[in-house]
Amino acid sequence: MKIISVENVVKCFPVGDGKFTALDHISLDFFTGEFAGLVGPSGSGKTTLLNIIGSLDKPSKGKAQVAGKDIEALTHKQAAQLRNHSIGFIFQVFNLLPVYTVFENVEFALLLQKKPWHERKKAVMDALEWVGLENMADKKISKLSGGESQRVAIARAMVKRPRIMLADEPSANLDAKNTHSIMETMKTLNQEFKTTFLFSTHDEKVMQYLDRIIHLEDGKVVKDEIITSRKEDF
Amino acid sequence: MPVLAIKLAYRNLVGAGLRTWLNVSVLSFAFVVIIFHNGLIDGWNQQARRDTIAWEYGFGHLLNKAYDPYDPFSLQDGHGILQTKMRQRLIPVLIQQGTLYPGGRMVPVLLKGIETDQEILKLPTKLFLKTDADIPALIGKRMARALKLKKGDRVLLRWRDKNATFDAANITIIGIFNNNVPTVDNGQIWIPIEKLWEMTGLSGHATLFIATNDYVHVPIPGWHFKDHDTLLAVLDNMIAMKKVGGSIIYFLLLALALLAIFDTQVLSVFRRQREIGTYIALGMTRLQVVALFSMEGAMNSLLATLVGSLYGIPLLFYFAKIGIGMPATADDMGISIAERIFPVYGAGLILGTIALVVISATIVSFLPAKKIAKMDPADALKGKIQ
């Protein structure tokens, strides 16, 4: 089932008196349960495309449809609802809220969904169990290692059981061991919940887990390769 | 959203630690000072009203229409006789001008004749009954201090009778009364009204009458009645002016506290951009983030109220109990002022101050937070200064 559809998307940013084209007529489709990645050098448009799919930004031209919603037509409120219910984000620098505990960070999205306390508690503890941090619920973020922080970020993104997970350079601040560990966790979640994962990366260690790799260069798709036996599912 | 904003704002404030407590300390200090200052003025106001009523106004004044308390020239003709049946429950006071010669100096004074057995004012007029002095006189502590007079002193007084003839005689100071009301003290000599009638030939005349508590006013031609509200209006206005003057100090203090919150909020909007971006990425609308930041400011002030209560309640209660000593020079201010003023903290004052602090803190938090609504969330996530 198609969950993300990007059609002839162009994204330009003003630079001085001119403009910089970050995405140049990109067309891509992603299906439920894909474990795909956007790969390319810095400035190739990976993060810009992720931001558009994540409804954090709008295309200058073209159409982007995510979970049945036209991104360019969404109001701020509708975009917030889409992010809150259907999209999970994982960031390069984790973006955890430093004044909260591990539990409170993971709980945040559920608070926005106004879930009752007993539901929140169960969901948060389940999410922490998925990432192996169930014993660290009361810890402050400042006490965590990089790998643990990224696991909290994964739990925070997964706790609301989104249909789509967007991970922007999730391994950039992790060592090899932690990178493999979080990728394995995400792969398990992908298989268990059929959540669509879309990565932006140029890390070989991440790429080896991906089922589909889309190569971007100067805002254009230069190669779209399906890697594993999951081909037939798409 | 309000419940969520409150919950998140509380977590953020507690998590922010020292930054929060610095703001809260300054704001709570402003909060306590505002209540203390207003309580002091209100206490002074109540004391001044109480003392002025007890020493000067009684239950109102019935004034001769020709007499204007602010025009000394009106003393000449501003008096008259009131029929006996109309004088029920009224204490007559005759006011005339005179000149006192203490130690060879010449000092203009007001001669005030009052009934010796009156009980409506706190003036110790009963002392007149215990003396055999030819012209007994009572003066206040300020008058005694200014003229260097003491009990038992005899001093030459010159006055003018009803025929405009000057006369002079020694008066005897039979008592010096301690009071907080300069308007019954400064430049005034109290003597028995029968004696003043005899001295001036104005037998039965009065410049004004002081009403007793059961006096019911009916209009009397040639006289007009002033009740408490009218008589105390001048005092109220003077105290209100003092309050405005004093307010400048605490508004400055409040402005400093609010500036600290504003500064923190402005810094937050820049420093917490990544956090703002994360909130938005997690599904908060921009308005929800603005509300969260504004709520943080409002909670700063609520925390300040709590912290202020912790040390403010015992402190303010202590001062309300022991009062604040006024300097000796305060006597010369011309307004009734006691040696110690006991602050009074009304519910209106406390609730009003809480409302003032909370509303102003929320407004100064909202102003920088408004900028969030214009942020690009993708840039905010990168922590890019916008």
What pLDDT is stored for residue B259 in this prediction? Answer: 83
What pLDDT is stored for residue B48 in this prediction? Answer: 85
Residue from A23, A82, A107, A112 to probe the interface with B (highest B Cβ count within 10 Å): A112
Q: Give contacts of A165 with chain B, Cβ < 8 Å.
A: none
Question: What is the band of B42 on the pLDDT scale with cuts at 50, 70, 90?
Answer: confident
Q: Give contacts of A54 with chain B, Cβ < 8 Å.
A: 281
Answer yes or no: is pLDDT of B121 > 70. yes
Residue from B18, B278, B379 to probe the interface with A (highest A Cβ count within 10 Å): B278
- Show Cβ contacts of residue B175 under 8 Å, excluding neighbours closer than 6 positions: B124, B127, B138, B139, B151
B275: contact with A, CB 8 A cutoff: yes
Q: Do A85 and B283 touch (CB under 8 A)?
A: yes
Listed ranges B6-10, B75-79, B193-197; the one with the highest mean pLDDT: B193-197
Q: Do A76 and B7 touch (CB under 8 A)?
A: no
Question: What is the band of A192 on the pLDDT scale with cuts at 50, 70, 90?
Answer: very high
Q: Do A95 and B381 touch (CB under 8 A)?
A: yes
Please, what sign has the CA dihedral across residues B181, B235, B72, B122? negative
Q: Give contacts of A108 with chain B, Cβ < 8 Å.
A: 282
Q: Do A95 and B377 touch (CB under 8 A)?
A: no
Classify the complex by whether its ipTM is higher than 0.85, answering yes or no: yes
Q: What is the pLDDT of residues A4-31, one digit of tens each?
A: 999 999 999 988 888 999 999 999 999 9
Residue from A11, A42, A56 to probe the interface with B (highest B Cβ count within 10 Å): A56
Sheet harboring A164-168: ordered strands across? Answer: A87-90, A164-168, A196-201, A35-39, A212-217, A220-226
Domain ranges of chain A: 31-58+72-233
Q: Quick one: closest CA in B to A99, which residue?
A: B15
Q: Quick one: closest CA in B to A115, which residue?
A: B4
Report the C-alpha gap between A108 and A100 in whole angstroms: 10
What pLDDT is stored for residue A17 in this prediction? Answer: 84
Assigned token pair, A98:
């430093």
Answer yes or no: is pLDDT of A178 > 50. yes
Q: What is the pLDDT of residues A93-142, one digit of tens each?
A: 889 988 889 999 999 989 989 899 999 999 999 999 989 999 999 999 88
Q: Do B284 and A112 touch (CB under 8 A)?
A: yes
What pLDDT is stored for residue B329 in this prediction? Answer: 62
Q: Is there a contact between A92 and A153 (Cβ–Cβ < 8 Å)?
A: no
B378: contact with A, CB 8 A cutoff: yes
Å between A200 CA and nearest CA of chain B = 15
Lowest mean pLDDT across A223-232, B3-12, B24-33, B283-292: A223-232
What pLDDT is stored for residue B330 in this prediction? Answer: 60
Q: Give contacts of B377 with chain A, Cβ < 8 Å.
A: 56-57
Q: Give contacts of A78 with chain B, Cβ < 8 Å.
A: none
Q: What is the pLDDT of residues B300-310, one digit of tens each?
A: 888 888 999 99
Q: What is the pLDDT of residues B65-77, one digit of tens each?
A: 999 988 989 998 9
Q: Is there a contact between B350 and B305 (Cβ–Cβ < 8 Å)?
A: no
Q: Determine the topology of domain A31-58+72-233 in CATH.
A: Rossmann fold (3.40.50)
Q: Which residue among A48, A84, A99 sits closest to B16, beta carbon to beta carbon? A: A99
Q: Do B281 and A111 touch (CB under 8 A)?
A: no
B203: contact with A, CB 8 A cutoff: no
Assigned token pair, B318:
């202590």
Q: Give contacts of B15 with chain A, Cβ < 8 Å.
A: 98-100
What pLDDT is stored for residue A151 in this prediction? Answer: 92
Going by C-alpha positions, the residue among B358, B343, B229, B378 that lies closest to residue B306 is B358
B contact residues 287-326, partner A, Cβ 8 Å cutoff: 287-288
Q: How much of chain B exceeds pLDDT 70, in percent?
A: 96
Q: Quick one: closest CA in B to A108, which residue?
A: B282
Q: Which residue among A51, A84, A100 sits closest to B11, beta carbon to beta carbon? A: A100
Q: Do B7 and A111 touch (CB under 8 A)?
A: yes
Q: What is the pLDDT of residues B130-147, one digit of tens each?
A: 999 999 999 999 899 999
